[in-house]
Every structure is written in C-alpha cells, then in structure tokens.
Structure 1
Amino acid sequence: MNDRLTAEVLRNALVVAAEEAGVVVIRSAWSTFIVEGSDASAAILDHRGRLIAHSMATTLMNSMALKVALPEVIKDFPLGTMRPGDVFALNDAYRGGVHTNDLLVFRPVFVSGRPVYFTATMIHVSDLGGLSAGGMAPLATDIFLEGLQLPPVRLDATVESILRANSRTPDKVIGDVRALVAGTAVAAARVEALLSEYGEAGLAEGIDAYLDHTEALTRAALAGLPAGEFAASYPIDDDGLNPDLAHQVRVRVLAGGDDLVVDFAGTDPQVPAAINASASQSLAAAVFAVRCFLDPAIPMNDGCLRAIDVRLPEGSLLNARRPYPCGGRYVPIYAAMEAIFQALSDAVPERAIAASGILQPFSIAAVGAPYWIHLSYDFGGVGARQGLDGPDATGVHFGIGRNSVPQAEPVESRCPLLVESLETIADSGGPGRWRGGLGSRTVYRFLSACHVTTRGDRLRLAPPGRDGGLPGRVGGFFRERADGSLERLPSKVNNARFEAGEALVVATTGGGGIGDPYRRPAEEVRADVRAGRVTEAGALTDYGVALGTRAKQR
C-alpha cells in the first residue's frame, strides 16, 4: 500500500462510498427539507471511533457528531454482541448527538466475523415532538421540551413505533428513517467490496496510511502559524428569555510547533435556554474555524483531529450537561467559530476575516392536523476578507451553503404558501476598503393560517468590522400584514400565529467590512451601485462617493 496511486484510489473510493450513501438518503427521504435541500450526511468510521471518510456534502457538525456518538453506541452495545444486519440509532445530545430531530444511524461492517468498520448516516427528520413542529423550540428551558430523546438503540419495528407515536408527521419520519438505513446499507456494500479487493490487512494498512498522511499534512500546516497566544471573544445577542442579556464565548488559541490548542475556558456557563451546544458541535466549530487558516487541500478525517486539542469546559455554553437544552446549538458554536476567526486573524492578519451574518433558521407549520411543515433557513453575508469583499448571503457555514436552501417551486407545491420574492439587501454589507457580503430578504406569503417559529442571532448586535471597517447591518424576522405594515418579531419566537394573506419576511444580517471605507476606490463603489449592492445614498454616506450628473464625485 506504499504505492501513491493505489493510496489515492483507495482514499477516493472511501469518500465515494460515503458520498453514495448520502445520495441514497436524499433520493429516498420523504421530508421536503431533505429532498429539496440535499441536507444529508454520511461517513465511514472504524470500531476505534476513528473518522475515516465522509461525503463531500457532510457538514463538520454532522461528521463530528457521528464520530463522538459511535463510542457511545459501542458502550451500550459491545462489539461482541453485534450481529450482521444490526442497525443502531440515537439522537442524545449529551452522547454525541446534535439535537432531538437529528437522527444518527450506524451499521457495523463485519470482517472475519467481527465488526471492524461502521457506515453512518444522519439527517434532520421532519418532526419528533417538542414545543413546536419541526424540532424548533427556541424558548425551551430544558431538553424535554425539545422532543423525543433516544439513547443508543437497536433500530427495529418497536423503535419505529415509538418514533411514529412521537411525531406530528409520522409517515415522513419513518420514510426518512428507512432512507437513513438504506444509505448505510449501500455504504456497507462498498466497504465490503473494498475488503474483497484489498484484503483485510491491505484495507487496514491503507486506512492507517491515509490518516497518518493527513496528520502529517495538518501538523506541517500548523507549524506555519506564528507562535503565540491569541485570545478573542464573541457575544450572543440573548437567550430568547432575557432579551437584554448577552452571553459570551471566549477562546485562547495557543500556537507554536506542529499542534494547536483551542481553549474555551472562561466561556459563560450553560443556561436554561436554547443557546447551549453539545460537545460534538463545539468540536466541529473549532476544527472548521482552524481549518479555514490551513491548506484547504488537507483531507478531513481523524488524522486532522490528532493535531488540534480542543478544550470545552463542562457545563459551559459549549458543553452542556443534562437537562440543559441543546437545540439552539448553532448560536454558541457560531460565536465560538467567530472568536477563533478573530484570534487567528490577529495571528495571521494577511488572512483576516471580519465577522459575518449568521444562519437564520425558521419553521412554518400547520396550526393543527393534518400537519404540514416547512423547515428552512437563510444565510447572512460573509465578513470581508483581507483583499476580498465578502460573498453575499452565503454565510460562514461548515456545510453546503446555499445549495441546502430549498428551491421555491418544490416548497410551494408541498405547502400552502408562496415564495413571493428573494433578493439581496443593498447597503447591508459592512462598509470598508473591502466590503462585507450582503444579507438577503425572502418573503413567504401564506395561503392558510400557520405557526411560525424562529431562532435567530446577530439581529441585535451587528457583526463588527476590522481595521476601520464598519459593522454589517442587522436583519430580522418580520410579520407583513395584509395592509403592508411590518411588525418585527423577536429573534427567538415560538409558534407565532400568522393568518392567511399575511407574510413572513426573513431578512439576514450583512457581514462586517475590513479597512477604512474611504480607501475603497470610487470606481469600485460605483460598480457596487450599478450592481445594486450599494445605494446612491449609501455610496455618499458610507464611502464619501457622490453619484449623479451634477454631484461632485470623490
């Protein structure tokens, strides 16, 4: 297995096996969000809990959950008790899971009569109970309000019955579960084919070499960072229950040599509100943020993780303990990611990035039976990068970006609503020598009464700029009444009733700018105006560039 070509073929074969599993899940799922948003993850691991490969569409949030959860499955179901055909599932946030609606499914692959590898899939199923449909419970004060919890279980007809009994959309949930199972079966068949081709020892040797090579690449990249301690923090707007109380995520990044320590000591303690995260999600945020400052060609597998020491204080916002809710996990982990970005931007200013708008999820659901649910989100603008404007409405997100936002037509065909408009918001990107990315505005017009649930952040505290750049401009969730008047909703609201004819307006936050806006060349400002990214008024106010035939221009 020392042949480089053979090693590369094997590496790609493992990734393709995971990729195919994800495709099977998407094509077999029943939920609109999965089918139209392609939001499915798949991975291959081994009995030691090592992440070997994951699909290209798999978010680090999900692959880290699969990695952390597998040892918990093995703890409850020892390897010697597993049998061919077994499939296991869990969603327990305190044992590697994400939140109650994210189901993790594992299938052992047997070698010489013992389970050596595991194929795994994961999606956000349509509904598993809780305060509001679709797994959104922004005002939950404990985990029990977020929905059904599953410890590691052997997936069988009895468990399916429990899932069905706890869902507002039982047929969709069972369809999604069976899609997850089908994905693991396909990936397992591909791993078995690799075992036939390379042999038990050959495959094991090739995987070890692949992970070791990744570790070496990661350590070499980390050695290129400047030595030192770099600290930063980032605030969370509020917890939904105390609207004027911000919370802080704090980090120290210790660089020097061929490894890195990311220490979140000093982060605020967990709270009885839905702004805590499980450890697997915080690990994902930290690894993603660090990798943004390394060579992007480095593979993502267990070898990368060996060189990064992530320290998550128990009982903090980033490592919640039972029974604190974890459904709003992306709020603290985005703050963690942003804090690392700013710390490493101080360390490597030529690769600096300003703060970004955040993912803004929401759900729209029937008021009563028969239930229909639309789960979605949109992205804010990315902060400007040193030498580059920030991308519009894409978000710094460790996933598949705008590809995961369902298209309008399939949503309209499945739900009683119209996607009336979708546009970027002029002037929302933070002004700077390099401008922050724009936020977006989407209008959903309802054809029948429904409940809207939101979970937003960076809608009160704007993402700051760097080095003289200005903040991005905050978005929000709004009710547009039939007469056209607008009412701003709280960023975290549960089951707000909308009537037929009213609309939900989802406006996302722009990214911060970098550098003095008055240093932005006038021609670039004019180009922004022509493209609709900046208004004439914004050009004059933010950049000192006057437009118009009789205006004096900078």
Structure 2
Amino acid sequence: MSTPADPTAEPTADLTAEILRNALCVAAEEASIVVVRSAYSTFIVEGADAAAAILDAAGRLVAHSASTALIQCASLRSALPYVLEAFPLTAMAPGEVFLLNDVYQGGIHANDLLIFRPVFVNGAPAYFTGTLIHVADLSGLSAGGMASDAADVLLEGVQLPPVRIATADGLVDDLVRVLAANSRTPEKLVGDLRALIAGANVAARRLEEIIDAHTAEGLARGVDGYLTHTERRIRAELAALPEGTYMGEYGLDDGRRIRVAVTIEAGPPGAAPSGAHVVVDFDGTDEQAASPVNSGFSQTLGGVMYALRCFVDPSLPMNEGCFVPVEVRMPRGSLVNCTWPYPGGGRWATVAAAEEAIFAALTRALPERGVAASGILQGFSISGTARPWLHMSFDLGGMGASAERDGPDATGALFGGGRNIVPQVEPIEARLPLRVEEVSLIPDSGGAGRHRGGLGTRTVLRMLEDAQVDTRGDRLRRPPSGAAGGAAGRAGGYYRERADGAREPLDAKATRQPLRAGEALVVETSGGGGYGDPAERVPEALRKDLADGRVTPRERT
C-alpha cells in the first residue's frame, strides 16, 4: 500500500521556487541599478539604459533585470558560448571578467559592451553574471558609433572578440589603455567599463548569498524547475495557435526586404502541448548590404522572440524556457545574419522589419489579432566640434493599431532598453551645451482606421555650441503601413532648423552634418498605421480624438 502524498509538499516546493525566482531577478535588477548609478555617460545615467542577466554554465538564460530588452537578453545568451569557446570553464579562475562586442559572436555592435563574470560553485564555474550597456564612444567614423556611412564593420568601431578584461587583482591595464586610446571620450569609456564590472560583481555576490541560503543543489534544482515550467507554459501557448505555415514580409526604406515563413506545429499526436514548437525561417530575405542596415544573428533572434511573445501570454517570464521550442533559421550573409566584414550597427530597421514580417504572417493565422505597422526607433547623436562632448538618444514612433484597439503613442514596435524612454530635460541641459525646446506628440500622425495608429513625436534640440549630428532612421520614405483597409501613418524625418526658423531636411542616415550654435535639430518620428476602414470608426472615438488634440478637424476621419 502506497503512502499518501504529503499535502503540504507541493505548496512548499512552489513557494521555494518562487523565492528563488525572485531572488535571482532581484540580483540582476540590483546589477543594472549599480551600472546606471556608476556610469559616466549621460545616456546611461539619465536613460537608465543598462541590461543585466544571470546565466548558467551551459549558456542558459536564467533571469534578467526589468530594464533588459529582449534583444539584449538574446545577445547576452548568444555571446556566452563564444566566451566559453575562447576561455574554457576548466581554465577560468575566480575574479576573472570577460568582455566582447563582436556582432558575429553574439554581440550587437562596437559600442555595446558585454561583460561576463563567472560564479564558482565547488571550485568550478556554475553560473555567469552579465551586464551590457552602450558606451559613449569606441572609435569609428562617427562619435557614439552612429556612422550610417560605414561600409564595413571596421569603420563602426574597435572590434573585440572575447577577451579577459579583469582578474582577481583588478583591471587588465594594458587592454584598458588600448580601449581608452580609441575613444573620443576616454574618461567616460573607462568609467562605463568599471560600472559594467561593478554591476556584474554585485550580481555575483548576490548569487553566492543565494547559494549559501539554499545550497548549490537547491539552487540548481530551482533553476531547472523554473526553466522547465516556463518551457511548458510557452509550449501550451503555441499549441493553442492554429497549425500551419504562414508567410510574411516587410521592406526597408532602401527597398530591401525581409521575408519569413512561420510554421506552427503542435507536435506528435497526443503529445501536445508538450511537443508544440515553432519554426521561423527567413529564407528568401535579401542579401546583406555594405551599409549598417544589417542585423547580427543575436539581434534577429531577439526580434523573433519579441514578435512571438506578442501572441502568447504576456505574463510568461523571459528565460531559457522561452527559447527552447523556437527554431530560427537565418541564412548566413543575409540582412538578418550578417557576416564579416559587413556592418551591423544599424540593425534596428532590419530587426523591426523582421518583426513586422512575423506580425504579417501571424495575422494571417489569427486575423482577429492582426496589427498594422509601427513607427520605429529613430536614433541620433550630437557631438561637439570645438571640444569633446556627446549626446546620444532615440525617439520612438507610434505603434500600429490592432484589430482590437488604437495604437499606443510614442511606443514603437521594439523597445530599445532603459527605464526612461525620454530622459529628463533638466539633467541633459545641465550636462550638455544644448537646450531642449520641445518634446511633443504630433497631431494627425497616426494612420486613420477603425482603430487609429499611435502618434509620433517631435523633439527640438537647440545648440548652444557648434556641433555635428549623425542620424539613423527608417520608415521615413515608406511610412508604417496600415492593415485591413487602414491608412499608413505620417512619415517622420530629421531636420536642421536655422536660427531664423527656416527648416531643411536631413537625410534619414546623415553623417557628421554641421549644426551651428543657435541652430536646432528637429526629430520627428513616424506615426503608426491604422487598422480597418476609417469609415467604421465609432463617433465617440472621433470626438475623443478631437478633444484630446490627437487629430485636427480636417483630419478627423
């Protein structure tokens, strides 16, 4: 006769797992806060743009900070295997810290530095803490790594394969001096680098405290259970989607196109939902270009995960369990998987187009959950000419409307990271020789439809010293398209505003364009596309749009 199960066993196990999960997430969160508070670059400090994660020695993503975007998760997860290839676990020593930025080895681009610190258990590395930020400057044609005319990756900045940046004795000074010598703002670069390491060290200490409290075996069981539970949940979500293969595509302003086939499979009969999985195949996507419009494989992977998560339970935690049932096929040498020496710094347009292509494919599978195209991140950097200073930022366009609701304003389809999407005006003006004259929504910029696209934004930055600007945008010549009869959003743009108020357009990918003292950079982002026939918009929604100033009387439909 079997012994009855203890009715308290399962709740206790669940409680312990939840305590461990939260402890790991808090450790990553504290790391990201340490990086922000220790960093030197204005964009990091004021935008709170720092990613942090905990991974295990098998390269699995375990937990991450709240400010870590999906593309950053994908990069940290994708880069660690290359670190382990260059520095085997058996050769690592306590206190070592590793650094890379190589886009072909899981990195993002030259200015995004990834830090990994091993955490030892019983004398061997069992976990890694990772941090990631966009440092102020690391060489390249333009300050801040924004050169839109870089024809190869070497023109984007210093390339770093996995290297040892610190030991138990401190920083590897020779390497730090080389990096500083290749930066227009060496003090900020070294300060940011120290901040990254400080964050990874704090997360490592917290992880060691968790191990002391729960034992190494207890933590390992908790991690396995947490990841398995997430995998089970996402497979159940995928099993609820209609099986089949669905096609989608989306184009860039330069005419290049991303094509995708999304295949949803429930698994063998009787195995669902445990066998459900999805294959995302970019076969047919245009070849890579000799300009920074390409995406490294880790960034495309992040875009895929974002797009798929829009069709499953949003409460799903983001960890290795989400990646397991997703197979992504990215042809080497294509826009979505560039190879040396093709540049990958301007990946945003391609990653966002990959997302839109997946949205289009899954809209065919689930027309009741369809969505129109969105305005995307429009990056820019302003740098001093008489003395070294740098302001980097990005503004987001309106999100496309869906079959169910209007698109959110100033949100875009892919969030770039950080907690503050619009940094506070006062600290920027206190740190830099410029004045922020306007940050506003643009009326009538959202595409008309049964549901209206989200509005784009206008930002006006007045120069107090001579400077130069680099821009990097897309969906400006070809604004975000509507869906199901909805209208396209209003195209954005970049402009130079003279002291007398005259305005002239800058190219969407301008490089090192002069801005004289008294002139302003005007950044306008694209509105999201509308969804459905505009004639079907309910009168109450039209009246509210007018009352809120989102549309003007002449554009009320």
Task: Place the TM-score, normalised by the shorter chain, in its bin.
Answer: over 0.9
Aligned to 1:361: 379
Aligned to 2:242: 226
- Once the 2 structures are TM-superposed, how far is the Cα of residue 522 of structure 1 from its aligned partner? 2.2
Aligned to 1:351: 369
Q: How does 1:85-234 map to 2 (within 5 A)?
A: 85-155=95-165, 156-234=172-250
Structure 1: distance between partners of 2:175 and 2:304? 34
Q: Any idea what SS the aligned residue of 1:269 has? A: coil
Q: Any idea what SS the aligned residue of 1:323 has? A: coil
Q: What's the CA shift string for 1:462-519, capped at 9, x where partnerless?
A: 1111111110010100011112111111100110001111111000000000111111
Q: Is the contact made by 2:148 and 2:510 (CA closer than 8 Å) also made in structure 1? A: yes
Counterpart residue type for residue 328 of structure 2 = V
Counterpart residue type for residue 230 of structure 1 = Y
Q: Is the contact made by 1:432 and 1:514 (CA closer than 8 Å) also made in structure 2? A: yes
Counterpart residue type for residue 253 of structure 1 = V
Q: Is the contact made by 1:381 and 1:511 (CA closer than 8 Å) also made in structure 2? A: yes
- Cα 1:350–1:400 change in 2 (3 A) is farther
Aligned to 2:78: 68
Q: How does 1:115-514 map to 2 (within 5 A)?
A: 115-155=125-165, 156-238=172-254, 246-257=255-266, 258-368=276-386, 370-400=387-417, 403-514=420-531
Aligned identity (percent) is: 56
Q: Any idea what SS the aligned residue of 2:257 has? A: strand
Counterpart residue type for residue 390 of structure 2 = I
Structure 2: distance between partners of 1:531 and 1:292? 28
Structure 1: distance between partners of 2:421 and 2:501? 30
Q: Is the contact made by 2:67 and 2:419 (CA closer than 8 Å) also made in structure 1? A: no
TM-score, normalized by length of structure 1?
A: 0.95
Counterpart residue type for residue 49 of structure 1 = G
- Once the 2 structures are TM-superposed, how far is the Cα of residue 402 of structure 1 from its aligned partner? 7.3
- Once the 2 structures are TM-superposed, how far is the Cα of residue 523 of structure 1 from its aligned partner? 2.6
Q: What's the CA shift string for 1:148-181, capped at 9, x where partnerless?
A: 1111110011111111000000000100000000
Structure 1: distance between partners of 2:196 and 2:534? 49
Q: Is the contact made by 1:61 and 1:398 (CA closer than 8 Å) also made in structure 2? A: no
Structure 2: distance between partners of 1:306 and 1:402? 28
Range moving further from structure 2, 83-92 or 193-202: 193-202
Over the aligned positions, Cα root-mean-square deviation in angstroms equals 1.1
Q: Any idea what SS the aligned residue of 2:35 has? A: helix
Q: What's the CA shift string for 1:261-298, capped at 9, x where partnerless?
A: 11100000011111001100000000110011000111
- Once the 2 structures are TM-superposed, how far is the Cα of residue 403 of structure 1 from its aligned partner? 2.0
Q: Is the contact made by 1:231 and 1:253 (CA closer than 8 Å) also made in structure 2? A: yes
Q: Any idea what SS the aligned residue of 1:493 has? A: coil
Q: Any idea what SS the aligned residue of 1:404 has? A: coil
Q: Any idea what SS the aligned residue of 1:189 has? A: helix
Structure 2: distance between partners of 1:496 and 1:276? 23
- Once the 2 structures are TM-superposed, how far is the Cα of residue 401 of structure 1 from its aligned partner? 7.3
Counterpart residue type for residue 189 of structure 1 = R
Give the total of aligned pairs.
532
Q: Is the contact made by 2:75 and 2:299 (CA closer than 8 Å) also made in structure 1? A: yes
Residue 30 in structure 1 maps to residue 1 in structure 2: no
Structure 1: distance between partners of 2:213 and 2:416? 32
- Once the 2 structures are TM-superposed, how far is the Cα of residue 366 of structure 1 from its aligned partner? 0.4
Q: Any idea what SS the aligned residue of 1:403 has? A: coil
- Once the 2 structures are TM-superposed, how far is the Cα of residue 256 of structure 1 from its aligned partner? 2.5
Structure 2 gap ranges (5+): 1-8, 166-171, 267-275
Structure 2: distance between partners of 1:112 and 1:162? 35
Q: Is the contact made by 1:288 and 1:398 (CA closer than 8 Å) also made in structure 2? A: no
Counterpart residue type for residue 403 of structure 1 = N
Aligned to 2:6: none
Q: Is the contact made by 1:395 and 1:401 (CA closer than 8 Å) also made in structure 2? A: no
Aligned to 1:551: none
- Cα 1:463–1:402 change in 2 (3 A) is farther
- Once the 2 structures are TM-superposed, how far is the Cα of residue 400 of structure 1 from its aligned partner? 4.8
